[in-house]
Amino acid sequence: MPDDSDKMFEREAAVFKALGHPTRLRIVKALTGGEKCVCELQGITGGSLSTVSRHLQVLRTAGVIESRKEGLNIYCSLGLPCIGTMLAYLESNGCGGNCACGKEKA
């Protein structure tokens, strides 16, 4: 019988799975700068509206992003703001020894 920790691991795995595509990472990175309209995200990714919508659905289902509708436009924002911090860390190739990990910046 699954317990609460199993559910937690399933949710965490869903987040990492949702982040496991370059286009979805590009979307999340764009949203670290604040809320964006789906049409803006389409321009950023260069994908078709249907492709971007599918990626957004994966991110939304995992709880990575949130969306709201205003008139005919749909606006997306990060549902897990800490993802931006994680991506910034990965982009910088480490923390340069400024945290408890002790890793030297490459």
pLDDT confidence bin for 104, thresholds 50/70/90:
low
Q: How far apart are CA 96 and CA 13, in angstroms?
A: 28
Structural domain includes residue 58 = yes
Structural domain includes residue 36 = yes
Cβ proximity of 56 and 67 under 8 Å = yes
Q: Using the predicted structure, report yes or no on whether residue 24 has a pLDDT greater than 60.
A: yes
Q: Using the predicted structure, report yes or no on whether residue 97 has a pLDDT greater than 60.
A: no
Mean model confidence pLDDT for the chain = 89
Domain that includes residue 28, residue range:
4-80
Mean pLDDT of 64-72: 97
Structural domain includes residue 45 = yes
Q: Using the predicted structure, report yes or no on whether residue 103 has a pLDDT greater than 70.
A: no
CATH at residue 28: 1.10.10.10
